[in-house]
Amino acid sequence: MNPEQPRSSRAEAGRQRAKEKARARNRAILAVTALLILAAGGALGGVFIYRKVRANRVPPLETYSVTIPEGFTVEQIAEKVEEDTEGAVTEEEFLDAARSGGYKYDFLAGTEGNLEGFLFPKTYEMTSRTTARGVVKKLLDQYGLETADLDWSRAQQLGVKPYEVLIIASLIEEEAKVAEDRPLIASVVYNRLRNNMKLGICATVQYALGEWKEELSYSDLEVDSPYNTYKIEGLPPAPICSPGFESIRAALYPAQTDFIYYILTGADGKHSFTADYNQFLRWKEEQNSKKTG
């Protein structure tokens, strides 16, 4: 048998090999094309996911230092919180939170939800995620921490309730200008209460008016308010500000005196104290002369 194939057979075999190579080449091209399409699709999907994550990204956390001075009212604290948090917690939001109730603390018993006096003055760290209610709770938590070790049983010895101690502390906070006057002013308040005398404290009239005046007029002293201690008997119904720790301690530990009267006489804010009404009148005349002289 002749091993040499006829020319027609060799040509046909060549054509078959060429077709197989073409098919293999096409398969390779298709495979590469598929890989490229998949790669491109993954990249586009990655871009989409990145853009979506970026669009929903949580804003960066801002931190704020909020300083509440001693003697501020709830309204003043609300203004200060808005200022120090750069509007992260607005005045309106804070007031709504302070008045919404639902705060569970033993020391709030009998307050009917009035937080005046309990928002403890101090510097606090807040963040842009701190809610208005969270701010209020921080201040109330701090009051609990600051006053926990005080001997509140002394209130009964002084003839008042624990809440009334805080009311007296708020009066001391607004009236005292120098530290050494605090326990002396406390003694005047208790002595007047024991003698059934009106307290006649100007700071309560300022609170009743809702504004601070350099001088109170006689008509101001006639304002009809349960906070006007020139007209009501005893203590106002609630604190008139948030007192600091030293004023609270002075209300629990008043000086032992017979003082009934006091008047501002020192340029440094020092008061003079006496049990003699005539002496009080002389000091008052001297101070009025300085103002008109």
pLDDT digits 0-9 by tens, 68-94: 999 999 999 999 999 999 999 999 999
Single out the residue of 95, 93, 97, 99 nearest to residue 75, CA to CA: 95
**Better-predicted residue by pLDDT, 47 or 272:** 272
The per-residue pLDDT for range 133-191, each reduced to its tens digit, is 999 999 999 999 999 999 999 999 999 999 999 999 999 999 999 999 999 999 999 99
Is 141:105 a contact under the CB 8 Å cutoff?
no
- Backbone CA torsion sign across 229, 235, 238, 241: positive
Compare 99 and 43 and report the one with higher pLDDT.
99
Q: Could you read off the pLDDT of 175-230 as tens digits, one per residue?
A: 999 999 999 999 999 999 999 999 999 999 999 998 888 888 899 999 999 999 99
Asked whether residue 58 carries a pLDDT value surpassing 80, the answer given is no
Q: Cite the DSSP H helix spans in 100-161.
A: 132-147, 154-158
Which token pair is 140?
A: 């109330």
pTM of the model: 0.80
The two beta strands, 261-264 and 63-67, are unpaired
